[in-house]
């Protein structure tokens, strides 16, 4: 069965840590793909980033 796991963090290092932690429990042969995206919102007071990843894997 193919499944996905979604990750969403405010800092890129936090996203990296979360994905790496999850990948420790997945066999390399079960990993299909990782999709990565960065979103940014600018307003008058601050710039907000959203770092996200989707891991596609077999179970």
Residues 10-36: pLDDT tens digits? 999 999 999 999 999 999 999 999 999
Nearby residues of 2 by Cβ (< 8 Å), 6 or more positions away: 32, 56, 57, 58, 59
Rounded to an integer, what distance in angstroms lies between the CA atom of residue 44 and that of residue 32? Answer: 40
- Structure pTM? 0.87
Rounded to an integer, what distance in angstroms lies between the CA atom of residue 12 and that of residue 22? Answer: 15
pLDDT score for 45? 87
Nearby residues of 46 by Cβ (< 8 Å), 6 or more positions away: none
- 14 sits in the region (left: phi over 0; alpha: psi -120 to 50; else beta) called alpha
């Amino acid at each position: 069965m193919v499944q996905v796991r979604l990750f969403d963090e405010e800092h890129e290092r936090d996203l990296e840590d979360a994905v790496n932690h999850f990948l420790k429990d997945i066999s390399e042969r079960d990993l299909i793909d990782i999709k990565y995206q960065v979103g940014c919102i600018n307003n008058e007071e601050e710039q907000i980033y959203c770092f996200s990843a989707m891991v596609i894997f077999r179970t």
